[in-house]
Amino acid sequence: MTEKSAEKPSPTTRKRKAKTDEAPAKRSRLRFALKWVARGLGAVVGFFAFLILLFAIVPPPINLYQMSESWRLGGIEKDWVSWEEIAPVMGRSAVAAEDANFCNHWGFDMAAIRQAIEEGSNRGASTISQQVVKNVFLWHGRSYVRKAMEAVLTPVVELVWSKERILEVYLNVAEFDEGVFGVQAAAQHYFGVDANDLSALQAARLAAVLPDPKGRSASKPTSFVRSRTRAIISGAETIAADGRSACFAG
């Protein structure tokens, strides 16, 4: 007689064993994926942290929006100037126009955000700090990804940069006319003067076009721009009087 052959495992047993072997493999793949996601996020965080520290000292180079406009238009006007080369009234005018509580918040104006929500609009809710983060580090356009990154980076910029530095960068990267970036280029473009020589009226005119630089003109103001200019001149005087310009006006 031949020896009795060993019993073969039943189909049920083989299926159970396959499932048991598959579970550790799935966990291993998940751990591997999470590890690389964490590394990727760490690299992104490190990259932006480096840029924030770097741009606290040196002028930011051309940004994504400026690059796209330069490509579209065949060139742009931009000329960086230091804070000392900008007329003090220009800083006050920009703050009065775009972010009157600039010195009193940490990057987000919660009162303005609540008011915007109640009115069903986002106009006026974006602070100068948020605009700097968008202009320097991110891209234009509406997306949840960009807004999330802006929300993360804005407090970091507020922590690392002084208010004066934030406003200096803002005035150097803001668009004042199609393809015209920065207060020095804008002062020359509209009025033929340097940023340091801007009058209160000229500074307010420049600030008045900031929300819509392609649709408004500082040299050929509409009745709306004239009205807004008057309001900005008054607002700049108000924040100088009540101390809301103290964080950058010395």
10-residue averages of pLDDT along the chain (250 residues): 54 56 69 73 84 95 94 96 97 96 89 67 75 94 89 95 98 97 98 97 97 93 96 97 90
> What confidence score (pLDDT) does residue 10 get?
60
Q: pTM above the 0.75 mark?
A: yes
> What confidence score (pLDDT) does residue 239 get?
96
> What confidence score (pLDDT) does residue 28 get?
76
> What confidence score (pLDDT) does residue 18 get?
52
Query: Are the beta carbons of 80 and 219 closer than 8 angstroms?
Result: no
76-79 contacts at long range (C-beta below 8 A, 24 or more positions apart): 76/179, 76/180, 76/181, 77/179, 77/180, 77/181, 77/185, 77/188, 77/189, 78/172, 78/180, 78/181, 78/182, 78/185, 79/182, 79/184, 79/185, 79/188
